[in-house]
Structure 1
């Protein structure tokens, strides 16, 4: 897992499967979703995972029109394929990961 604050240009240039997770460390919804996200990613170890600390003044989240946390954006070759917002259910997470996966 990568913990970084990349630029939008860097994100758009990524190849392969990428999961962006926008949230905040103090966010209760983000904390509640963490176990589900971790378990889902264990099934898709080749998917790049980037946690992005979001909040006031953070431009990357605004460029993706993030309004609620957590927001999970599933990308393939720099293009958004789908997203999950707020309540993260294991079955929906697995389907979204499969959508961007090489498997």
Structure 2
């Protein structure tokens, strides 16, 4: 499945949905972003059950600011609406495959329990 472009208008809907979503924050002038793009595209073709999306930080400055993107490329991973990973810097193909497998292997019920416990501690 090809990657899809996300904008401020559809980002929340896509990232908060069920399933796994990988988001590449990038810009056309960014050399490392251009170098990472083929790796990201190959992963999208290899894993059609995962949404692979791109956010052009130049065109979507408000969205980039909302996520405090200060370095690109930045890769984020969401599963079932929960942000699991956010890291600047391009990753290699094998590293991206490890992230895919890690996202698949997570026990999301346990993740939700841990988040609820963290929120309860923060609220008190």
Q: TM-score, normalised by structure 1?
A: 0.81
Give the number of aligned pairs: 102
Which of 1 and 2 has greater Rg?
2
Query: Is the 1:19–1:50 contact (alpha carbons within 8 Å) kept by the matching residues of 2?
Result: yes
Match of 1:47 among 41, 45, 50: 50
Question: Which structure is higher in helix share?
Answer: 2
Question: Which structure is higher in strand share?
Answer: 1
Rounded Cα–Cα distance in structure 2 between residues aligned with 1:44 and 1:58:
28
Question: CA 1:13–1:87 in structure 2 vs 1: closer, same or farther (change >3 Å)?
Answer: closer
Q: TM-score, normalised by structure 2?
A: 0.69
Q: Which runs of 4+ in 1 moved over 3 A?
A: 6-9
Match of 1:36 among 19, 27, 39: 39
Are 1:60 and 2:63 an aligned pair? yes
Query: Is the 2:15–2:78 contact (alpha carbons within 8 Å) kept by the matching residues of 1?
Result: no
Are 1:5 and 2:3 an aligned pair? no
Are 1:90 and 2:93 an aligned pair? yes
Q: Which has the higher contact order (CA 8 A, sep 6+)?
A: 1
List runs of 5+ in structure 2 lacking aligned partners.
Answer: 106-124
Question: CA 1:79–1:34 in structure 2 vs 1: closer, same or farther (change >3 Å)?
Answer: same
Query: Is the 2:78–2:85 contact (alpha carbons within 8 Å) kept by the matching residues of 1?
Result: yes
List runs of 5+ in structure 1 lacking aligned partners.
Answer: none
